[in-house]
A and B are shown apart, each in its own frame.
Chain A
Amino acid sequence: DAGVTQSPTHLIKTRGQHVTLRCSPISGHKSVSWYQQVLGQGPQFIFQYYEKEERGRGNFPDRFSARQFPNYSSELNVNALLLGDSALYLCASSFSQGNYGYTFGSGTRLTVV
């Protein structure tokens, strides 16, 4: 059984560009959350989706958006990239919104130059 898969694994973008990151949750998991992890810090919550609806948003600008598809996979979009957006973007899936441990993907390492 596959774990949480994220693509791409690495990405280099120029300031001002747009990026789309993709995540496929564990089969049967209906909740997907996105986190940003800057080097040396803990993951910061960006979005949570459950049953294709946004259930939570962290303290990130409107340049960040996401969606969840009928098959529960998800995309994170970031517009007008800034140097400060360089980070590891982690996707986590869980069975529901309840008290369950999250399974994280290996992440997408985004570098903005």
Chain B
Amino acid sequence: GQQVMQIPQYQHVQEGEDFTTYCNSSTTLSNIQWYKQRPGGHPVFLIQLVKSGEVKKQKRLTFQFGEAKKNSSLHITATQTTDVGTYFCAGQDGGATNKLIFGTGTLLAVQP
């Protein structure tokens, strides 16, 4: 079945450093979404990418969808303590169900 993997599993950075998480799907995706889950919280939708090679920015966050629509990345510039949490990518295959398959997640810890 479809699998979505993320690396790294865990990243610890000093406040102000940059952070990147990578997402790889075993199958081609119709779109990819990114979610953030704070410790003890629930996933919160950040963004959706649909087009091959698409790049979107939200303040310090840059999201990219690969040309083959099988991989994606999230880059955070100058991390802040408020960025702490687990970042999940989630892909939809565009099939009859169009269910969202979540990646394994990257836990980001930011030291002040």
Contact = CB atoms under 8 A, between A and B. Distances in A.
B103 interface: yes
Interface stretch (B13-21, B71-79, B92-100): B92-100
Given A42-B88, A42-B105, A99-B48, A104 B43 contact: yes
B42 A106 contact: yes
Contacts of A104: 35, 42-45
A54 to B, nearest CB: 10
A99 B35 CA distance: 15
A90 B42 contact: yes
Contacts of A102: 33, 43, 45, 100
B42 A105 contact: yes
Contact of B104 (A33, A42, A101): A42
B99 to A, nearest CB: 5
A79 interface: no
A68 to B, nearest CB: 15
B43 A55 contact: no
Given A42-B102, A43-B102, A99 B31 contact: yes
Contact of B103 (A42, A100, A107): A42
Contact of B99 (A33, A42, A106): A33
B30 interface: yes
A45 B100 contact: yes
A104 B90 CA distance: 13
A111 interface: no
Nearest to A54: B97
Contacts of A41: 104-105
A33 B98 contact: no
A61 to B, nearest CB: 16
Which of A58, A88, A104 has most B Cβ within 10 Å? A104
B42 A107 contact: yes
Contact of A56 (B1, B97, B105): B97
Given A43-B88, A102-B43, 12 more contacts: A33-B100, A42-B88, A48-B98, A48-B99, A55-B96, A56-B97, A58-B99, A59-B1, A97-B98, A100-B48, A104-B43, A104-B45
